[in-house]
Chains A and B, each alone.
Chain A
Amino acid sequence: MSANSSDERYEEAVRLFGSALDRLAAGYEADPDKRRDLRQEIHLQLWRSLAVFDGRCSLRTWTFRVAHNTAASWVVRERRVNQRFVGLEEIEHTIPAVNLAPDLDRARALDHLARLMLTLKPLDRQILILYLEDMDAASIAEITGLSAANVAMKIHRIKSILARRFQEVERNA
């Protein structure tokens, strides 16, 4: 693939998925300065990878695979000693009750969501982020390499966790 063609692919990927990539970085890094570095890293790796894009999958799948894999490597690299991530299975029934006000604004709701996300294992985080990006189980399975059944089960857990957060609100209201 020529350099121009590679650049065009990159421009297209950024035009279509750029804002999703920005949100993705927020799901992997809480610190704003480090998040900017992660975004740079994701864009660099995406641009490099598109030079060998061979159409084995869609541009969307390719873009999200590269972005999530770059971010997962980032998490492994930046992981602090004794820092432990949890799986969806672990938090489904143990997620702590939060005293959320019924009129909680979107900014605070987003903050709660981001904090929940940052505690998850990278693979579960991928699924949550892709689910929040409105992707179906088959697309998520293609990006993550998990079976569709496994993804469907995890999406079920995600819905349960998010709904439970809402129930806490109802109970506290």
Chain B
Amino acid sequence: MPENSNDWTAVWRDQPGVPPVRPRASLDLATRSEILTSVAASIFFVGVVGWRLATTGQRIPPVGFAAAIAWALISLVWFRARLRRPTPDALAQPGLEHYRRELTQRRDHLRNPWIWHGPLVAACLTLAAVPVMRPLTTVAPMLLILIAWTIYGIVNRRRQAAAIQQELDELPKG
């Protein structure tokens, strides 16, 4: 059993070895994959449903789905910086600076779920607003679930953003 801090150092350094690794393709950042998944899902949704409703002669589908596509494009432009990989030397900054930047980015992302999450919601609302497919009473449960899910998601992300803000406030100055 370690008897002083030097012994703890020995315990730490005497860990059993592990097989060597080689560099390979990186895993995607959660932020990037969240944005891309949301945008891709909305485009797919718009494509399939838009095609299905193309022959109805309604005005709502083209307008609604055009709005969803525009929103998706805005998301991509808005978050373009977060979709890029960091430059090779970005990770060689001092730890404090890097961690502060990382937390700030994550906080800003979590504070703006309506931007990157919006296209899918817009597409769903457009579908629900088209009376030709089904009467409003049949669509109501889906609409309620969608609204509850959206509100839960936004509140949850806001709470996470607040926790990150607190951590940012507690970071030392240097």
Task: Spell out A's residues near B (CB within 8 Å).
Answer: 10, 14, 18-19, 22-23, 26, 36-37, 39-41, 43-49, 51-54, 57, 62, 65-66, 68-70, 72-73, 76-78, 81, 84-85, 87, 100-104, 106, 109-110, 113, 121-123, 126, 129, 131-134, 142-147, 150, 158-159, 162-163, 165-166, 169
Majority DSSP secondary structure for residues of A touching B? helix
Assess whether A40 is in contact with B1, with CB atoms less than 8 Å apart. Answer: no
Please name all residues of chain B whose beta carbon is closer than 8 Å to the beta carbon of A123 when the two chains form the complex: 95-96, 99, 171-172
Residue in chain A with minimal CB distance to B3: A166
Assess whether B13 is in contact with A49, with CB atoms less than 8 Å apart. Answer: no
Q: With contacts A23-B13, A37-B27, A169-B1 known, is A69 near B20, CB below 8 A?
A: no
Count B interface residues, CB 8 Å: 48
B77: interface (CB < 8 Å): no
| A113 contact from B11, B31, B93, B106, Cβ within 8 A | B11
Interface residue stretch chosen among B35-43, B84-92, B121-129: B84-92
Q: How far is the CA of A32 from the CA of B96 in the complex (A)?
A: 27
Residue in chain A with minimal CB distance to B166: A84
B12: interface (CB < 8 Å): yes
Q: How far is the CA of A10 from the CA of B77 in the complex (A)?
A: 35
Assess whether A110 is in contact with B174, with CB atoms less than 8 Å apart. Answer: no
> Could you write out 26 A-B pairs with CB less than 8 Å apart?
A10-B23, A22-B17, A23-B13, A36-B21, A37-B27, A40-B26, A41-B26, A44-B26, A69-B92, A72-B102, A76-B102, A76-B103, A87-B170, A100-B1, A101-B1, A104-B1, A109-B2, A123-B172, A131-B9, A132-B9, A134-B9, A143-B95, A144-B95, A145-B95, A158-B5, A166-B3
| A144 contact from B13, B87, B94, Cβ within 8 A | B94
